């Protein structure tokens, strides 16, 4: 006869783990407190200014019906490229501009409003939770590597691998037609405006009320993201104290040492698998050859870290979106990013000056303004591609 049912043993195990974590935190406050402070600093200085404005803008675009407009108007380009509706263009633009986990948050919101189905949401969230370009060009290239000239190499590798991943994922689902692509340009525009007006009429609150709701929801989301960052910063410190990070690094060494990677990169990679930013910083401080540092940095940018995975899962699980395609995509993009960086690095690095320089990173508001411009540029590019697709079809017919 069992002393406890299966669920009872599971609950007991969780309680034991939590008590052990609490005990470690009380026994090592001198290590835990700085770890928590690092998490808070990362959230306040990097994540908050980079994500919060986009949370507000994206929520307003949904409430005002702009996403419903994009769902029709950008269908001719989004469906052939990624096999997702035109509404996914907002997620692509925001994800490629401001980084994770905004792709998971926006995809969940679109799924709740029935603008995308469950399968499309799973694929969309898989390739729209990227590292932001400004994070790579500023924090990584300038702040960690002190070589601004390699930022574009990392960004090119990262987004090339991401687009390849998105195109690959579309073949995992049956192709769907894009009805909007068959309309003439004038009809397509009128239909898109009609959908936007219907959505706006269904949500007839005044703009001030919508702005207040958007700000409140954005603040809730950004606090959840900050909580995850702080928790994982502390968790990584605990795992380091217990020696698990070194054990994980040794396991990684079985695969990378035969490929010629420096042993100095093993512990940074193990840390980066949990939290990307910490791992990349440790990689930049290692004594490994610079090309290997770039490859590992690109790999970690593609993987994003378990801390980011947990943030994305927290938002997508509430909407019932499967997590499997996202996890598959992270592994695929990490490998592709590393390979592209290695090939590009062999070709480009000999022509670059690798003299370390000290450059002051741009201010938070500068980053926000540049991100908004980038997001607008991406939506503009997708709109032009959609227009070209419709015009080409019109000429053929």
- pLDDT tier at 1, thresholds 50, 70, 90: very low
- pLDDT tier at 276, thresholds 50, 70, 90: confident
Does residue 19 lie within any of the structural domains? Answer: no
Q: Mean pLDDT throughout 365-393?
A: 65
Does residue 157 lie within any of the structural domains? Answer: yes
Q: What's the confidence (pLDDT) of residue 273? A: 87
Does residue 225 lie within any of the structural domains? Answer: yes
- Total domain count, the chain: 1
Does residue 353 lie within any of the structural domains? Answer: yes
Asked if pLDDT for residue 23 goes beyond 70, the answer is yes
pLDDT tens readout for residues 135-161: 787 778 877 888 878 888 888 889 889
Does residue 1 lie within any of the structural domains? Answer: no
- pLDDT tier at 362, thresholds 50, 70, 90: low
Does residue 21 lie within any of the structural domains? Answer: no
Does residue 103 lie within any of the structural domains? Answer: yes
Q: In terms of residue numbers, what domain contains 357?
A: 29-169+182-396
Q: Indicate the pTM of the whole model.
A: 0.79
Per DSSP, the residues of 178-209 read: -GGGGS-HHHHHHHHHHHHHHHHHHS---HHH
Burial of 31 (0-12, 13-18, 19+ CB in 10 A): middle
Does residue 69 lie within any of the structural domains? Answer: yes
Q: Where are the alpha helices (DSSP H) in 243-362?
A: 244-256, 266-274, 276-284, 290-303, 306-318, 324-348
């Amino acid at each position: 006869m069992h002393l406890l049912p299966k669920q009872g043993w599971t609950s007991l195990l969780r309680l034991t783990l939590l008590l052990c974590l609490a005990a470690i935190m009380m026994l090592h406050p001198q290590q835990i407190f700085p770890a928590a402070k690092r998490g808070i600093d990362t959230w306040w200085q990097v994540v908050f200014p980079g994500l919060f404005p986009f949370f507000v803008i994206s929520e307003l675009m949904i409430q005002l019906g702009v996403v419903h407009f994009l769902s029709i108007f950008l269908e001719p380009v989004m469906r052939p490229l990624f096999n997702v509706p035109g509404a996914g263009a907002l997620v692509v633009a925001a994800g490629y501009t401001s980084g994770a986990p905004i792709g998971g948050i926006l995809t969940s919101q679109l799924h709740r409003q029935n603008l995308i189905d469950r399968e499309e949401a799973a694929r969309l969230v898989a390739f729209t939770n990227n590292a932001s370009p400004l994070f790579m060009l500023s924090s990584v290239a300038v702040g960690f590597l002190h070589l601004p000239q390699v930022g574009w190499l990392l960004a090119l590798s990262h987004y090339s691998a991401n687009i390849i991943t998105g195109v690959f994922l579309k073949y995992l689902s049956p192709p769907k037609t894009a009805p909007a692509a068959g309309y003439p340009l004038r009809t397509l525009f009128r239909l898109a405006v009609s959908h936007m007006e219907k959505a706006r009429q269904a949500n007839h609150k005044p703009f001030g009320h919508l702005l207040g709701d958007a700000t409140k929801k954005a603040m809730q989301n950004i606090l959840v993201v900050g909580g995850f960052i702080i928790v994982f910063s502390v968790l990584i410190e605990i795992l380091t104290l217990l020696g698990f990070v070194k054990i994980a690094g040794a396991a990684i060494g079985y695969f990378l040492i035969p490929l010629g990677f420096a042993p100095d990169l093993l512990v940074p990679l193990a840390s980066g698998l949990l939290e990307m930013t910490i791992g990349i910083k440790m990689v930049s401080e290692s004594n490994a050859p610079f090309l290997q540092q770039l490859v590992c940095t690109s790999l970690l940018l593609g993987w994003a870290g378990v801390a980011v995975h947990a943030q994305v899962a927290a938002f997508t699980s509430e909407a019932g979106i499967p997590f499997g395609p996202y996890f598959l995509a992270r592994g695929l993009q990490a490998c592709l990013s590393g390979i592209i960086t290695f090939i590009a690095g062999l070709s480009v690095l000999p022509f670059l000056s690798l003299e370390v320089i000290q450059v002051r990173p741009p201010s938070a508001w500068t980053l926000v303004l540049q991100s908004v411009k980038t997001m607008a540029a991406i939506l503009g590019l997708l709109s032009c591609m959609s227009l070209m697709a419709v015009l080409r079809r019109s000429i053929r017919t």
